[in-house]
């Protein structure tokens, strides 16, 4: 399956190898149906299970499906056989930004353009509760048009990874780019840590070298801890001032993304993306990480492929193990308690109405609110027509069958601003569905057995 000219899952013709690591190889490939070039990442399942990395792979899939943005490498599809996991991803053929910087520092306008696109991507990721944690030029790719694409979410964290103190505690990243609070191992804010890394990247783009470089790593860490760096004489005054606010060793006073995007130097010629069409992606096949990476994969790759492309109009059935897996900490009470609420703004409701009635109600709501709507495999996907703070609001509703007369519907934000989503749920969604809902669980006002 991993040699040039071979066909993967009756969908992709595998071409030359683009790179390889300890657990995966990446190949150029061609979609047989559309002719589109893609990158296929082939992961050895046995190896990652042996070293305990399966959860990390699942998290990476979940994160890449959350961050659909023009400046982020897109994950098109996930497939699996008994021994391999396959990521079909956007092929970005311009190479790493690092290669460009390695030839020498960039001109101010070029550096600003890449920094603008980086900040736009990071801001979007943060709006979805995703923290990259390993931002560096090697993980920033360029497409054929010179546009930046953030890649490699293998070390990323989700909002739910925070402990009770509201901070992340896993030390990770590349030493020269990590924030001082990450080094100190006292917990850190993922957003603030990513912003620091963006500042180091901006310095590198304009200077051609690292701000805290030292051959002795402990000496480098001391410089990072103190925010001890010096801008070269060719840096514009406004850039020097900006970097002093980004590379602030105190996260509490470090500049935020919103303030960063208001900075006069950053804003110059900045065309912020107000919306990104996600509706085309609704036709993509693929399963959730929970199902595609389960230990019970079938032996034949062909049967996995068939399972991926089948269209099933019926709602997915929930067995006891599915219900447990949907509940945090494997605690069943979490599925039904009043305070169930997480970063994605997921809400659940139970209904005794058939799926057709649920879908009909959602269609009525979509028409009333001028939403685009798509239905597939028991999932109703809606996308708003208005551009909000974080682009168009996207909402997914998935219907699960518990018994023939009882269904659970999961509603969650797939795109857009969280506050706008919560407002929509409280003011539009709940009132529109009150006639069919038996019980609500999730964020916002709880409704107990309203039927």
Residue 424 DSSP SS3: helix
- Please tell me the predicted confidence (pLDDT) of residue 421: 86
Helix, strand, coil % over all residues of the chain, rounded to 5 = 35, 25, 40
Helices (H), 87-189: 97-102, 108-127, 180-184
Distance of CA 142 to the CA centre of its chain: 19
Single out the residue of 170, 153, 174 nearest to residue 161, CA to CA.
170
Single out the residue of 256, 221, 436 nearest to residue 350, CA to CA.
436
Torsion from C-alpha of 52, 20, 68, 137, nearest 10 degrees: 110
Angstrom distance (rounded) from CA 422 to CA 138 = 37
Angstrom distance (rounded) from CA 181 to CA 96 = 27
Other CB atoms within a 10 A radius of the CB of residue 314 amount to 10
Catalytic residues: 134
Query: What residue ranges define each of the domains in the chain, with the CATH number in brackets?
Result: 1-91 (3.30.200.20), 97-267 (1.10.510.10), 310-442 (3.30.310.80)
Angstrom distance (rounded) from CA 288 to CA 61 = 8
Q: What is the pLDDT along the chain (451 residues), one digit of tens a residue?
A: 444 458 998 999 999 998 887 788 899 999 999 999 999 999 998 888 888 888 888 888 888 888 889 999 999 999 988 889 999 999 998 888 988 888 899 999 999 999 999 999 999 988 888 888 889 998 899 999 999 999 887 665 554 454 444 555 555 557 889 999 888 877 788 899 999 999 999 999 999 999 998 888 888 889 999 999 999 999 999 999 999 999 999 999 999 999 998 999 999 988 765 444 443 443 344 444 444 454 344 333 433 333 332 323 455 555 443 443 444 433 333 333 334 344 446 777 888 888 888 888 888 888 888 888 887 766 888 888 776 667 788 888 888 776 667 778 888 888 888 888 888 888 888 888 888 887 776 544 444 444 4
Give the pairing of strands 37-44 and 12-20: unpaired
Sort 195 into a burial class: Cβ within 10 Å, 0-12 / 13-18 / 19+. Answer: buried
Torsion from C-alpha of 240, 242, 245, 249, nearest 10 degrees: -50
Q: Check the annotation: does 58 bind a ligand.
A: no
- Please tell me the predicted confidence (pLDDT) of residue 141: 93
List, in sequence order, every residue forming a beta bridge with 148; answer none if it has no partner.
142
Instruction: List, in order, residues 6 or more apart from 319 with CB less than 8 Å away.
Output: none
**Considering all CA atoms of the chain, what is the largest pairwise distance in Å, rounded to the nearest integer?**
72
Single out the residue of 190, 168, 185, 254 nearest to residue 221, CA to CA.
185
- Please tell me the predicted confidence (pLDDT) of residue 21: 75
Angstrom distance (rounded) from CA 225 to CA 265 = 26
The kind and range of the H/E element at 123 are helix 108-127
Give the pairing of strands 391-403 and 379-388: antiparallel
- How many residues belong to the chain? 451
pTM over 0.75: no
Per-residue three-class SS string for 237-248: HHHHHHHHHHCC
Instruction: List, in order, residues 6 or more apart from 41 with CB less than 8 Å away.
Output: 24, 25, 26, 86, 87, 89
- Please tell me the predicted confidence (pLDDT) of residue 2: 47
């Amino acid at each position: 399956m991993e040699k040039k000219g071979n066909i993967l899952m009756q969908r992709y013709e595998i071409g030359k190898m683009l790179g390889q690591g300890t657990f995966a190889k990446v190949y150029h490939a061609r979609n047989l149906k559309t002719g589109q070039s893609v990158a296929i990442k082939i992961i050895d399942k046995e190896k990652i299970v042996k070293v305990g990395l399966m959860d990390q792979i699942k998290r990476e899939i979940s994160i890449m499906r959350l961050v659909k943005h023009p400046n982020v490498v897109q994950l098109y599809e996930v497939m699996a056989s008994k021994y391999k996991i396959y990521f079909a991803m956007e092929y970005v053929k311009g190479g790493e930004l690092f290669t460009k910087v390695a030839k020498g520092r960039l001109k101010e306008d070029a550096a600003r353009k890449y920094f603008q696109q980086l900040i736009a991507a990071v801001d979007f990721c943060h709006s979805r509760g995703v923290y990259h944690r390993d931002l560096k030029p090697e993980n920033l790719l360029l497409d054929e048009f010179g546009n930046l694409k953030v890649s490699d979410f293998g070390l990323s964290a989700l909002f739910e990874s925070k402990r009770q103190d509201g901070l992340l505690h896993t030390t990770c990243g590349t030493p020269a780019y990590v924030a001082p609070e990450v080094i100190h191992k006292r917990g850190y804010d993922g957003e603030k840590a990513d912003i620091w890394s963006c500042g180091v990247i901006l310095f590198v783009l304009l200077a051609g070298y690292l701000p805290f470089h030292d051959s002795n790593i402990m000496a480098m860490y001391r410089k990072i801890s103190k925010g001890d760096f010096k801008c070269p004489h060719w840096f514009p005054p406004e850039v020097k001032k900006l970097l002093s606010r980004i590379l602030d060793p105190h996260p509490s006073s470090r500049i935020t993304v919103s303030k960063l995007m208001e900075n006069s130097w950053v804003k110059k010629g900045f065309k912020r993306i107000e919306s990104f069409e996600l509706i085309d992606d609704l036709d993509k096949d693929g399963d959730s990480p929970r199902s595609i990476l389960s230990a019970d994969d079938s032996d034949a790759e062909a049967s996995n492929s068939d399972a991926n492309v089948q269209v099933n109009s019926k709602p997915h059935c929930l067995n006891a193990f599915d219900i447990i897996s949907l509940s945090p900490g494997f605690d069943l009470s979490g599925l039904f308690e009043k305070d169930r609420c997480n970063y994605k703004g997921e809400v659940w409701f139970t209904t005794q109405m058939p799926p057709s009635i649920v879908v009909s109600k959602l269609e009525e709501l979509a028409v009333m609110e001028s939403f685009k709507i798509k239905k597939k495999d028991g999932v109703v996907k809606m996308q708003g027509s208005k551009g909000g703070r974080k682009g168009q609001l996207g909402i997914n509703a998935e219907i699960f069958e518990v018994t023939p007369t009882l269904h659970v519907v999961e509603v969650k934000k797939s795109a857009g601003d969280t506050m706008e989503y919560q407002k929509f749920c409280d003011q539009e969604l709940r009132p529109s569905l009150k006639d069919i809902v038996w019980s609500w669980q999730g964020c916002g006002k709880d409704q107990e057995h309203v039927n």
